[in-house]
Structure 1
Amino acid sequence: MLFRKDMDPRCAYCQRGQQINEREVACVKRGIVAVEHHCRAFKYDPLKRVPPRPAALETERLKEEDFSL
């Protein structure tokens, strides 16, 4: 997921930007922009991307026979 080729560019995970707060990024090229903004100078930095949280395991729906052969 972090290294997909078809991802939407966003300033929030661009090499040229530094996130200031939840809604703004300080871009070297454009100045202060929204996190969802992007430009032609976008360079993906996978270390800035926060992956979605994994789904929680619903243990109340599991039964003992689910774990037997």
Structure 2
Amino acid sequence: MLFRKDMDPRCAYCRRGQQINEREVACVKRGIVPVEHHCRAFQYDPLKRVPPRPVTLDIGKLKESDFSL
């Protein structure tokens, strides 16, 4: 998920930007821009991207028959 080739570029995880708050990024090239903005100078930095939380297992819906062969 973090290293997908088909991801959409965003200033929130660009190497040239530094996130100020949840809505704005300080970009070296463009100045203060929204997190969803991007430009031609976008360079992906996987360490800045926060992946979505994993889905938790709902044990309440499972039955004994789900575990038998």
Shorter-chain TM band: over 0.9
Counterpart secondary structure, 1:33:
strand
Aligned to 1:44: 44
TM-score by length of 1: 0.93
Unaligned 5+ runs, structure 2 = none
Q: For residue 36 of structure 1, report the CA deviation from its aligned partner.
A: 0.1
**Number of paired residues?**
69
Unaligned 5+ runs, structure 1 = none
Counterpart secondary structure, 2:51:
coil
Distance (Å, rounded) in 1 between the aligned partners of 2:62 and 2:5: 37
Structure 1 counterpart of 2:23, one-letter code: R
Q: Quote the RMSD (CA, aligned, Å).
A: 0.9
TM-score by length of 2: 0.93
